[in-house]
Structure 1
Amino acid sequence: MVVSELVRAELRRVDWASLECGCGDSAEHVPLLIEAIITAETPRDMIGYTLDGHIEVNTITFECTPHAVGVIMAALAGELSVLARGVLLETLLFVAAGSDDYAPHAEGAGPGDGCRHHAQEGFWKLVQIGLTGSADDAETVADICEYFGLGGDKAAFYQAQLRERMRAKTKRGRST
């Protein structure tokens, strides 16, 4: 796959060098990691390129995380390989699981609020992925929506739809 113009624009919009990364350095290298994941054709192509330890570590988020979530949502809005979509959804799930990081910091809202905002903007795309993707995708999207509290008054309905899809696909013995 190729990196879409939307993703490239979202990557350019951010001053990554000025942001703290989970690895302790600046987040200047995060765009390269995201691009490598999007363009990987096999799991082998992803060796050495992971967002774990950079935009989240054990669900702990960092200064660069909300910006990375914006890029992930832009990527999910376009065409991705099943491999890339799975990795990006899993990363989004780990970020969402750290949703207790919504506590305001001294300068205002915490990084969790920014992450939730970007995910909420892409709520319908997430639901579409969950309703049309694999059973694993459905379960992951349902969990993302639950952890982030996405969807407002629609949340319970769509989470139930996604979980039912996951159960039905798993029951049939299919995962795609």
Structure 2
Amino acid sequence: MIEWIRELVVAFLMLAAAALAPQGAPAFQSPYLPPPQTLEALLAPAPAPVVTTAAAIVAAPAGGCALYAGPQIDDDVVLEEIRRHDWAPFSAETMLELFRRESDLYLAAENLCTDDHGIPQINRPYHGSWCDVARVKVDLRYAITCASRIFAEQGISAWIAAKGWLW
């Protein structure tokens, strides 16, 4: 009973202090919490994330691969990114054609490259997703590795082996 009365008195004193404080005075801000935001800031739409060519495949929207969701990234940019990884003996053009044809693959990659709560496992500690076991950087090789595993799990690993996609 005494503890209940003590908590009631403390709550009353805190309310009184808040009511007597000058209106423009800054409130105490814990160094361990992010600064408070206004309601307008919380309701404002978040800025669009910058999706690089390397991360676009894994971070694909429901419509398919983000690389081909719109005109903002053209084939030359994608080809350059593919060539930068030097995937001999595969030609960059062949890989680009695979990315174009298998747009539904990226939605599957997005679903599989998340933990049990749907949180993308990009540059995060291992939480159960096989896509980030090695904590590899999310790039085109990473996305294709995810894709080849999806193909293999669907029982068409012979097709991948024929194309040379398993490494």
TM-score category, normalised to shorter length: under 0.3
Give the TM-score normalised by the residue count of structure 2.
0.27
Give the TM-score normalised by the residue count of structure 1.
0.26
Rg (Cα) greater in structure: 2
